[in-house]
C-alpha cells in the first residue's frame, strides 16, 4: 500500500515537471524565432523593439453638445384692435414688409363721421370758453368803477372754469376717436415676413381676431440647455455652432445672448439663448438643431496618441525614449480628442513617445525605435 502511494506521488511530480518545462518553453518562444526575453530586453535578450511618435503641438476646442429649437428673433400674431369690415388687404402671403407698412385697412366711414362730430363739438366748446373768458375780463375791468359786484366776478370765473373743463373733455373725445380711426389701419409693428392670411376682403372681424403672423427671421434665436456642471464656464458671447439634418454640409455660427438665472431642478441644466444671423432665411422657426457650444479654444497645446497613455489608478504615464532607453514619465491630461489626448503637464513638444510596445515597456529598458506613420484625420 505504501509502495502504491509513493508511485502515485512520483507520477504526479513527473507530470508537474513536464508541464513546467512546456510552459517555460512557450514563454520563451514567439513567432519569428525571437524569444520573449529578447523582446522585453530581459537578461540575455536584445533591446525591445518599439514604435514611437513625437508629441505634437495642436489646437484644442472644449465644447458641449446639445440640441435646441429655432425661434424667430421677433414673432407676433397680427390682430385687429377694433371690430369692422375689411376694406383693404395690402399684403401677400409670404411677403417681406417694413416697419409701419399697411397690412389691413377696415371701413372708416362711421368712425370718420364720429370724429367729425367730435371735432365740431370741440370747436363749439372752444367758442363758449372764449366767450366766458371775454365776459370775465370785461367784468374785471368794470370792477373799479363799482358797476360789477364781486359775486358777479366769481360767477363768471366759475363759468370760465366750467367751459375749460368742457374743452378738455371734448379734446379727449377727439383724441379717442382719432385713435379709433388710426386703429382701422393695421400695420406691421416691425420688419419681417408675413405668414398665411386668415381674413377675406369685406369680412366682418372682431376685436382680437387673428389676421396673419409676422416673423423677423433675419436673425434666429436658438434655445437649448447646458448641464449645470458647465455653468461656471458659461458667459455671454461664447461661440455656438448649429447644424440641421436639412442642411448636412452647413454649419451655422452664432453666439450666446442670454443665460437663464436658474438651474432646472429636474433636468439639472440651465437654459441658454443664442442668436444667429440668417440673411438668406435658411433657418426656419421651429427647426430642430444640433448644437456645439464652444467653451474654450487653446492653441499650441501638446497632443499625444491615446494609445501611448498608461493609466494606473488616477495617475497616467507615458514612456519616452531618451538616449536609446525608456523613461517612464507621469503626465497630467486635459481634453480628449479623437485618437489623441492633451497633455497639460509632464511632457515637452517633440518628445518621442512609445505608441506600439507599451504593454512590454519597462522603465530604463533599452529599445530600438521603429518608424510609425502618424494617422491622418
Domain assignment present for 95? no
Domain assignment present for 287? yes
How far, in Å, CA of 50 to CA of 38, rounded? Answer: 13
Domain assignment present for 355? yes
One DSSP character per residue, 147-175 reads SS-HHHHHHHHHHHHHHHHHHHHHHHHHH
Each of the 377 residues of the chain gets a pLDDT tens digit; together they read 444 544 555 555 555 554 544 444 444 433 333 334 434 444 445 788 888 888 888 888 778 899 999 999 999 999 988 888 899 999 999 999 999 999 999 888 877 788 888 888 888 888 888 888 888 888 888 776 667 778 888 888 888 888 889 989 988 988 887 877 777 889 999 999 999 999 999 889 898 899 999 999 999 999 999 999 998 889 999 999 999 999 988 999 999 999 999 999 999 999 999 999 999 899 999 999 999 998 878 888 889 998 889 998 899 999 999 988 999 999 999 888 888 888 988 888 888 889 988 888 898 989 888 877 666 55
pTM: 0.56
Quick one: pLDDT at residue 11?
55
Q: Compute φ and ψ for 136, nearest 5 degrees.
A: -65, -40
Q: Give the SS3 label for residue 135.
A: helix
Do 239 and 289 lie in a common domain?
yes
Terminal-to-terminal C-alpha distance of the chain: 75
Do 346 and 289 lie in a common domain?
no
Quick one: pLDDT at residue 289?
94
CATH of the domain at 222: 2.40.30.170
At which of 295, 326, 350 does a domain end? 295
Question: Left if phi > 0, otherwise alpha if psi is -120 to 50, otherwise beta: which for 313?
Answer: left
361-to-34, 358, 372 alpha-carbon distances in Å: 17, 5, 17
Determine the distance from the C-alpha atom of residue 262 to the mean position of all C-alpha atoms in its chain, rounded to a whole number. Answer: 16
Do 325 and 286 lie in a common domain?
no
Domain coverage including residue 173: 108-183
CATH of the domain at 362: 2.40.420.20
Q: Comparing C-alpha atoms, which of 272, 273, 294, 270 is closest to residue 219?
A: 273
Domain assignment present for 204? no
Quick one: pLDDT at residue 15?
55
One DSSP character per residue, 186-238 reads EE-SSSEEE------TT-EE-TT-EEEEEEEEEEEEEEEEEEGGGGGG--TT-
β strands within the chain, DSSP E: 48-54, 56-79, 84-89, 96-97, 102-106, 185-187, 192-194, 204-205, 210-227, 239-244, 247-264, 269-277, 288-305, 310-312, 315-322, 325-336, 340-345, 352-356, 367-370
Determine the distance from the C-alpha atom of residue 96 to the mean position of all C-alpha atoms in its chain, rounded to a whole number. Answer: 26
Do 306 and 280 lie in a common domain?
no
Residues 225/270, Cβ–Cβ less than 8 Å? yes
Domain assignment present for 140? yes
At which of 260, 295, 330 does a domain end? 295
CATH of the domain at 177: 1.10.287
Do 285 and 304 lie in a common domain?
no
Quick one: pLDDT at residue 79?
92
**Total structural domains within the chain:** 3
Quick one: pLDDT at residue 334?
85
Domain assignment present for 1? no
Domain assignment present for 123? yes
Domain assignment present for 14? no
234-to-60, 237, 256, 258, 269 alpha-carbon distances in Å: 18, 9, 9, 10, 12
Amino acid at each position: 500500500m505504501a509502495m502504491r502511494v509513493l508511485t502515485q506521488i512520483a507520477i504526479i511530480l513527473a507530470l508537474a515537471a513536464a508541464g513546467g518545462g512546456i510552459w517555460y518553453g512557450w514563454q520563451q518562444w514567439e513567432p519569428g524565432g525571437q524569444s520573449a526575453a529578447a523582446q522585453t530586453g530581459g537578461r540575455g535578450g536584445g533591446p525591445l523593439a518599439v514604435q514611437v511618435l513625437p508629441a505634437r503641438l495642436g489646437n484644442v476646442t472644449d465644447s458641449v453638445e446639445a440640441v435646441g429649437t429655432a425661434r424667430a428673433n421677433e414673432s407676433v400674431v397680427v390682430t385687429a384692435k377694433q371690430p369692422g369690415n375689411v376694406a383693404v388687404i395690402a399684403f401677400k402671403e409670404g411677403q417681406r414688409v417694413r416697419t409701419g407698412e399697411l397690412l389691413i385697412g377696415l371701413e372708416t366711414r362711421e368712425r370718420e363721421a364720429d370724429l367729425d362730430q367730435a371735432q365740431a363739438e370741440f370747436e363749439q366748446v372752444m367758442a363758449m370758453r372764449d366767450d366766458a373768458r371775454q365776459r370775465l375780463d370785461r367784468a374785471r375791468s368794470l370792477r373799479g368803477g363799482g358797476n360789477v359786484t364781486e359775486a358777479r366776478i366769481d360767477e363768471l370765473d366759475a363759468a370760465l372754469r366750467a367751459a375749460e373743463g368742457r374743452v378738455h373733455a371734448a379734446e379727449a373725445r377727439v383724441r379717442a376717436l382719432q385713435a379709433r380711426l388710426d386703429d382701422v389701419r393695421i400695420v406691421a409693428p416691425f420688419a419681417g415676413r408675413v405668414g398665411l392670411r386668415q381674413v377675406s376682403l369685406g369680412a366682418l372681424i372682431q376685436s382680437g381676431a387673428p389676421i396673419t403672423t409676422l416673423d423677423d427671421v433675419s436673425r434666429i434665436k436658438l434655445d437649448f440647455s447646458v448641464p449645470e456642471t458647465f455653468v461656471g464656464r458659461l458667459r455671454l458671447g461664447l461661440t455656438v455652432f448649429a447644424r440641421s439634418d436639412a442642411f448636412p454640409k452647413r454649419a451655422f455660427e452664432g453666439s450666446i445672448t442670454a443665460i437663464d438665472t436658474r438651474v432646472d431642478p429636474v433636468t439639472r441644466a440651465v437654459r441658454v439663448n443664442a442668436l444667429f444671423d440668417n440673411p438668406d432665411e435658411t433657418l426656419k422657426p421651429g427647426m430642430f438643431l444640433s448644437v456645439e457650444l464652444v467653451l474654450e479654444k487653446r492653441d499650441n497645446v501638446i497632443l499625444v496618441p491615446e494609445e501611448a497613455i498608461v493609466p494606473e489608478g488616477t495617475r497616467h504615464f507615458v514612456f519616452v525614449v531618451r538616449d536609446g532607453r525608456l523613461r517612464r514619465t507621469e503626465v497630467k491630461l486635459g481634453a480628449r480628442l479623437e485618437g489623441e489626448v492633451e497633455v497639460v503637464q509632464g511632457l515637452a513638444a517633440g518628445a518621442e513617445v512609445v505608441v506600439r510596445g507599451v504593454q512590454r515597456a519597462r522603465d530604463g529598458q533599452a529599445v530600438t525605435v521603429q518608424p510609425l506613420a502618424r494617422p491622418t484625420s
